[in-house]
Amino acid sequence: MSEQSTSGSGYVEQEFKRDTTYISDRITADGRDGWPVEAGRYRLIAARACPWANRTIIVRRLLGLESAISMGLCGPTHDERSWTFDLDPGGRDPVLGYERLQEAYFARDPEYPKGITVPAVVDIPSKAVVTNDFPQITLDFSTEWPQFHRDGAPDLYPEKLRDEMGEVMQRVYTEVNNGVYRCGFSGSQRAYDKAYQRLFTALDWLEERLTDRRYLMGDTITEADVRLFTTLARFDAVYHGHFKTNRQKLTEFRALWGYARDLFQTPGFGDTTDFPQIKEHYYVVHADINPTQIIPAGPDTSVWLTPHGREELGGSPFGDGTPPGPTPEGERVPADHGPGGIPHR
C-alpha cells in the first residue's frame, strides 16, 4: 500500500483518511470465491519498503509458506502509475513478466479505478490480481493454508484469543499503523495536533501493556505483534522526522523499545527489514513532504542488535514450535541493508 504522491499538496487533506476499499476476493481452502488454495498457483507481490506489505513477508516466512506461495519484490519507489519491478534483471518480474504491478491490476480489470497497492496476491496462470486486502491476506495465510505450513510453525491467530486480538489489532491499526500517516499527511496544524495526541496516547497504552508481558497477547508472538512491528521498525528511521511524530523516539520508550528489539532479533522479523529501502521510499516518494528528496543518513541502526532483556518476562516467541530456517536464496535482505549497514542506497 502507498500514498500516491502528486505535485503541490494535492494528496494532503485537512485530516488524512485512508481509502480502505480493496479487492476483497479470498483464497480459501474450499475455493468459495473461485480461488482455491493451491501450492505454486499464486505469487505474493510485495515491497520491503512498505509496512503493510512487510507484514505479509513476515507471516509467509514465519509459517514457512515460501515453497507454496512464490514472492516478487517491487523496488522502494514508484510514480503515480504504479510500483515497478526495477530490482529484477531487465526490470521485469521473472514469473509474471511485468514491468509494473499495474499490469496485474489491469489484467483483473482493464479500467481498475483505484491506487495500485502492495501487497497483492496474483494468480499466476491468468497473471491477474486476486486480492490486495492486506489485513485479510495474512489472516488467510494462517487459517486457509495450514496444510502447507512448515513443521513447528507458530499459531499466529489462536482461536481462543481472536476476540481480544481483534480489539487490540483494531486499536493498533487506527491509532498507530495509520496514526503515523495521520500525523504526516495532516493538512492543518489543528489536524496534526489532534493526530499527534492520538498517536502518543496509543503508544503510551502499548508501553504500559508491554511492561509486564513479553508480547501483545501474552507469552508467544501472534499476528498482532507482526502488525505493530512494521510500524515500530520504521518509527525512528522515518516517522519521527518525516512524519513529525517527535514527542520521543522509539529508543526512548523502555518497554516498547525492548519489545521491538526482541522481535527484530527473532527470525522472520529483522531478517525481512531493509532500512535503506524503507528510508528511500518515504523520503523520495513523498516529495510533497520532502521536496528535496534527500534521504537522511541516520539513525544508527546497529542499536537494533543490542540486548533487550525481555527474556526475563518469560514466554518464548514460538511457544512449542520452532523458528523458521534460513531465508531462501534470492529472498535475503542484503547484509549491508540491515542493522549498522549503509545509510541509504
Q: Are 121 and 44 in contact (CB under 8 A)?
A: yes
Which class for 169: exposed (0-12), middle (13-18), buried (19 or more C-beta within 10 A)?
Answer: buried
Residue 74 among the catalytic residues: no
- For residue 27, the number of C-alpha atoms closer than 13 Å in the C-beta half-sphere is 28
Q: Which of 111, 113, 268, 119 is nearest to 101 (CA)?
A: 119
- Spatial distance between the Cα atoms of 194 and 14, rounded to a whole number of angstroms: 11
Which of these is catalytic: 105, 181, 196, 239?
181
- Spatial distance between the Cα atoms of 198 and 119, rounded to a whole number of angstroms: 27
- Spatial distance between the Cα atoms of 134 and 23, rounded to a whole number of angstroms: 10
Which of these is catalytic: 50, 98, 183, 282?
50
Residue 50 among the catalytic residues: yes
Q: Are 146 and 155 in contact (CB under 8 A)?
A: no
End-to-end alpha-carbon separation of the chain, Å? 21
Which class for 174: exposed (0-12), middle (13-18), buried (19 or more C-beta within 10 A)?
Answer: middle
Q: Which residues are catalytic?
A: 50, 181
